[in-house]
Structure 1
Amino acid sequence: MEQAADSRKVTVLVVEDEALVRLSAVALAEDHGFCVHEAADAEQAIAILESCPEIRIVLTDIQMVGKMNGLELAAYAHRRWPPLKFIIVSGEVAPSPQDMPEGSRFFAKPYDASAVGRALCSMV
């Protein structure tokens, strides 16, 4: 399993409303050596981002319960915290590159865990 040289110093926020999928994504990031926070929706994610300035990467689903979807979360977070990097996933929607913050990566669900792991490591 690939692990970025500095991944243990990098914190990832996983945003996913489906608990089992979120658990799997958290385990994936941890297996690649990242520190991980998790949120069940965009509102919770924003609260975590506000209180945890060490977060560098956000892995978010697009379709989520709540007032804001994952693309809206990514756009908001990118405006507020420009250095953040994003991995966006969805089983239903394939966004165009202009719908995502610059430098974001998209993976269709079910995604290849090794490909997402490599993408995380490449963002360090």
Structure 2
Amino acid sequence: MGLSQSKRPVVLIVEDELLLRMNAVEMIEAAGFEAIEAANADEAIDILESRRDITVVFTDIQMPGSMDGLKLARAVRGRWPPIKIVATSGHVDVAETDLPDGGRFLPKPYSPHQITGVLRELIGG
């Protein structure tokens, strides 16, 4: 058998706080998407380099490591232009001009309805 790719859109969730990441995974999977987890931007880049099926990167802005969520968003846009970007934060207010073209900002705390709406809007589903 070959590699089986998910028929559901794949969302890479980048969140350093475990409980928030688990909550985001639960909401995104309940909305009908496949969720993959990364604890920081470096882990996210490794995953993006190894998988070609990621549709959306859903990233926290404030994270430890070599880059924050805004730098990650710019890196994703530069290397993987088709991937959609959603940035989230409970501490930082972000203008759409702070994100790469087409990126969306979702303030924390977010609801399952908000996540579903933004993801469906971005992927046209």
Residues 95 and 105 in structure 2, CA contact (< 8 A), matched pair in contact too:
no
SS at match of 2:65: coil
Corresponding residue for 1:101?
A: 100
SS of residue matched to 2:62: coil
Query: Quick one: distance in 2 between partners of 1:121 and 1:98?
Result: 21
Aligned to 2:66: 67
**TM-score, normalised by the number of residues in structure 2:** 0.90
Offset of 1:8 from its aligned partner? Answer: 4.5
Mean Cα deviation higher: 20-29 or 107-116: 107-116
Q: In 2, distance between residues paired with 1:8 and 1:30? A: 13
Partner of 1:11: 10
8 Å Cα contact 1:14-1:37 kept in structure 2: yes
What pairs up with 1:73-112 in 2 under 5 angstroms? 73-112=72-111
TM-score (norm 1): 0.90
* Secondary structure of residue in 2 paired with 1:60: strand
Aligned Cα root-mean-square deviation (Å): 1.3
C-alpha distance in structure 1 between counterparts of 2:72 and 2:80, whole Å:
11
Q: Percent identity?
A: 46
Q: How many residues align?
A: 118
4+ long deviations beyond 6 Å: none
User: Residues 12 and 38 of structure 2 are in contact (CA less than 8 Å); yes or no, is this contact kept in structure 1?
Assistant: yes
Secondary structure of the structure 2 residue equivalent to 1:56: strand
For residue 109 of structure 1, report the CA deviation from its aligned partner.
Answer: 0.9
In the TM superposition, residue 69 of structure 1 has moved relative to its aligned partner by 0.2
CA contact (8 A) 1:12 1:57 kept: yes
Mapped to 2, the partners of 1:65 and 1:28 lie a distance apart of 24
Letter in 2 for 1:33: G
Residue ranges of structure 1 left out of the alignment (5+ in a row): 1-6
Q: Within 2, Cα distance between the matches of 1:70 and 1:112?
A: 20
- Summarize deviations over 1:19-47 as a string: whole Å, max 9, x none: 00000001111001111110000000000
Query: Structure 2: which 5+ runs fail to align?
Result: 1-5
Give the match for residue 49 of structure 1. 48
**Secondary structure of 1:106's match?**
strand
